[in-house]
């Protein structure tokens, strides 16, 4: 199946290049397998016009989280939100999760109980059941894998590949806050390591730190779209950064992208902290991951319907693919978009 005539470093391909390499020869053989690899969730026909959506996310200590400033309860909550966000991005309702945990002997039973307190809190918040999972020993650190299962009418499921020219590009909530929260936590960690007598100073960064440690799904905004009778033409959740997700939709849909930086929803605390740390706020919004907001496209005819929905913002439009992908700054400068965002390898 694979022709391996030479060695290729995984870092050369990156996360999505690796996934493509490993799955491009995969063929779906079951009629019930409606969507395999390539979207936020796999889609499985459940009969009677209904489908199940399934997604799995893995969080690894030292890669996705740092326990020196991440409480285990928050980590448990976030691990569930990360998977549920993918379900909502398919316009589906999450119903069950399974949780698998591998931990080293440095973790006690009480520590695992704290982790699961956060998991159960997220389950209660979003109305899902924990129905199984696995536990294993891990020689180093902690690893959490959450599989989420959701349900939707097959005709209501939204994929990444439905965007068309002239569709409006929209996002929920605000962007870049989680990334800036991470920068503050990392800064305070460095200060503490240099001088353990100095207490962390995060009092003035409560919003962005909260967005990093305890994010939420954009389920309320999605429900508002459904109530308003708006069905996005494409949708994806923003976990790896806005720019990266825009490329996913553009590549799957075969369109170009035009974004107006002045339309990007950036919270004031995010903006001020970016300036404080000598970062460009729009760049933070484009490249910062873990927002867990929704990026979606709609028909221009739905613009009047969407105007009154809280925390939904139109940030640009879909252009012909030949025009490429770019943004306009507030001063009118045209900039090419790049695949900025979280890199797993």
- Ordered DSSP codes for 135-157: EEE-SSSEEEEEEEEEEEEGGG-
Strand extents, DSSP E, 72-123: 93-103
Strand partners, 152: 51
- Report the pLDDT value the prediction gives residue 345, as an integer from 0 to 100: 39
**CA separation for the pair 228, 43 (Å, rounded):** 25
Ranges in the chain, pLDDT < 50: 344-345
Give the three-state DSSP class for 324: coil
Characterise 166 by phi-psi region: left (phi > 0), alpha (psi -120 to 50), beta (else): left
Q: At what angle do helices 109-126 and 72-88 cross, to 10 degrees?
A: 30
Give the three-state DSSP class for 326: strand
The answer to whether 10-156 and 168-336 have equal CATH topology is: no
Per-residue pLDDT tens over the stretch 65-111: 999 999 999 999 999 999 999 999 999 999 999 999 999 999 999 99
Question: 118-123, long-range: CB within 8 Å, 24+ apart, which pairs?
Answer: 118/72, 118/73, 118/74, 118/75, 118/76, 118/77, 118/78, 118/79, 118/80, 119/76, 119/77, 119/79, 119/80, 120/76, 121/73, 121/76, 121/77, 122/76, 122/77, 122/80, 122/81, 122/84, 123/80, 123/97
- Report the pLDDT value the prediction gives residue 38, as an integer from 0 to 100: 77
Q: Where are the domains of the chain?
A: 10-156, 168-336
Other Cβ atoms less than 10 A from the Cβ of 100: the count is: 16
User: Which pair of tokens denotes residue 179?
Assistant: 């990334």
- Report the pLDDT value the prediction gives residue 220, as an integer from 0 to 100: 96
Displacement of CA 197 from its chain's centroid (Å): 36
Q: Which CATH number fits domain 168-336: 3.40.47.10, 3.90.650.10, 3.40.50.10490, 1.10.1740.10?
A: 3.90.650.10
CATH code of the region 10-156: 3.30.1330.10
- Report the pLDDT value the prediction gives residue 9, as an integer from 0 to 100: 77
Report CA-CA distances (Å) from 20 to 17, 23, 26, 269.
Answer: 5, 5, 10, 38
Backbone angles phi, psi at 123, to 5 degrees: -60, -45
CA-only gyration radius of the chain, Å: 20
The pTM of the full predicted model, rounded to 2 decimals, is: 0.92
- Report the pLDDT value the prediction gives residue 4, as an integer from 0 to 100: 66
């Amino acid at each position: 199946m694979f022709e391996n005539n030479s060695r290729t470093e995984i870092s050369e391909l990156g996360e999505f290049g690796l996934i493509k390499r490993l799955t491009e020869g995969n063929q779906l053989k079951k009629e019930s397998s409606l969507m395999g690899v390539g979207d936020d969730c796999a889609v499985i026909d459940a009969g009677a016009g209904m489908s199940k959506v399934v997604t799995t996310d893995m969080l690894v200590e030292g890669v996705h989280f740092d326990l020196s400033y991440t409480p285990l309860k928050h980590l448990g909550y976030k691990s569930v939100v990360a998977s549920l966000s993918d379900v909502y991005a398919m316009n589906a309702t999450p119903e069950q999760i399974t949780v698998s945990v591998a931990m080293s002997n440095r973790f006690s039973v009480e520590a695992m109980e704290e982790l699961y307190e956060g998991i159960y809190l997220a389950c209660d918040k979003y109305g899902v059941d924990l129905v199984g999972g696995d536990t294993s020993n891990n020689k180093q650190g902690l690893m959490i894998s959450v599989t989420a299962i959701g349900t939707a009418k097959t005709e209501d499921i939204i994929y990444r590949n439905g965007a068309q020219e002239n569709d409006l590009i929209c996002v929920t909530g605000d962007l870049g806050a989680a990334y800036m929260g991470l920068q503050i936590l990392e800064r305070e960690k460095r200060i503490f390591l240099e001088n353990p007598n100095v207490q962390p100073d995060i009092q003035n960064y409560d919003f962005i730190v909260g967005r990093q440690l305890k994010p939420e799904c954009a389920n309320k905004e999605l429900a508002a779209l459904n109530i308003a009778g708006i069905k996005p033409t494409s949708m994806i959740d923003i976990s790896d950064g806005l720019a990266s997700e825009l490329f996913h939709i553009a590549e799957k849909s075969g369109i170009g992208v035009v974004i107006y930086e002045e339309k990007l929803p950036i919270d004031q605390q995010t903006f001020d902290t970016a300036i404080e740390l000598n970062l460009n706020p729009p760049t933070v919004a484009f490249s910062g991951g873990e927002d867990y907001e929704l990026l979606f496209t709609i028909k221009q005819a739905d613009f009047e319907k969407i105007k009154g929905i809280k925390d939904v913002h139109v940030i640009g439009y879909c252009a012909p693919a030949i025009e490429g992908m770019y943004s306009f700054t507030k001063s009118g400068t045209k900039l090419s978009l790049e695949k900025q965002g979280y890199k797993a390898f």
